[in-house]
Amino acid sequence: MDDADITNNLIAIPAFNEEPNIRRVVKQIKTVHKDIPVLVIDDGSTDSTAKEAVSAGAILIRHPFNMGIASSRMTSYRYALDNGYDCLIQLDGDGQHDPLSIKNLLKEKNGFDLLNGSRFLEKSGKYKMSFFRNSGRLFFSWLFRIMFKANITDPTSGFRLIKKDALLYLIERDFFDYPEIEALEALLRGGFKVSEVGVKMKPRLNGRSSIDFFQAAYYMFKVSLAFFIMVIQKEKKQFIR
């Protein structure tokens, strides 16, 4: 990988009240990929997330109030495009995504518009997921198979690489409530090349997920409805593995 390739990549991390985790996450990334800029989008945190991110060496964008994960993703897309980056690598701020797996995405990026990081393709061991979350994962994987003939094993993964043309396409839509699933479906509908690579994921470092049972249930219902509407639209689909 040459220097030009490295400097055209940006790592983006959305964070909401991740004070106990964000400094360690940024430091771990910079230890492994010291030449790739790290952007943290502080989504209206009420703790010291922003201060910890800056002290760890990250570029910081702060939302004035909590706007949700979709807005944080869109902010990172806009920043990457406005600053001339060719690839955006997105991770979560809770420490679940192993920075060592970034190289897996970079290694396989040629020929694809989006590379999804799958914890279920990682050879070093199986990721343990709660029954409810795993049921949702299997459900959405089934929908992608039925609607797009796409074998997406980890559709809710927030660990992925997205190239410039795909970012431009997603920015024009700007409709995401649940960006991980909806970005995949939008790009597959648009004929973009999508694939998966194995990545290592771990339990979050500290704290709890902001998504509760009722939010997850609503998520499944809303995204499922969107999928079935797409059947009527009969738009172009493409998946390469």
pLDDT digits (tens, 9 = 90+) for 25-64: 999 999 999 999 999 999 999 999 999 999 999 999 999 9
Residue indicated by tokens 């989008």: 41
Q: Assign residue 125 a region (left: φ > 0; alpha: ψ between -120 and 50; beta: otherwise).
A: left
> Which range marks the domain in which residue 195 is found?
3-233
How many degrees, rounded to 5, is the angle at CA 139 between CA 41 and CA 187? Answer: 50
Range of weakest confidence among 21-35, 70-84, 118-132, 204-218: 204-218
Prediction pTM value: 0.85
Instruction: Identify the CATH number of the domain in which residue 48 sits.
Output: 3.90.550.10
Q: Using only the alpha carbons of the chain, give its radius of gyration.
A: 17
Identify the pLDDT of residue 182.
Answer: 86
**Is 239 among the domain residues?**
no
**Is 241 among the domain residues?**
no
**Is 161 among the domain residues?**
yes
- 3-state secondary structure (DSSP) of residue 84: coil
Q: How many domains does the chain have?
A: 1
pLDDT digits (tens, 9 = 90+) for 92-147: 999 999 999 999 999 999 999 999 999 999 775 566 666 777 777 888 899 899 88
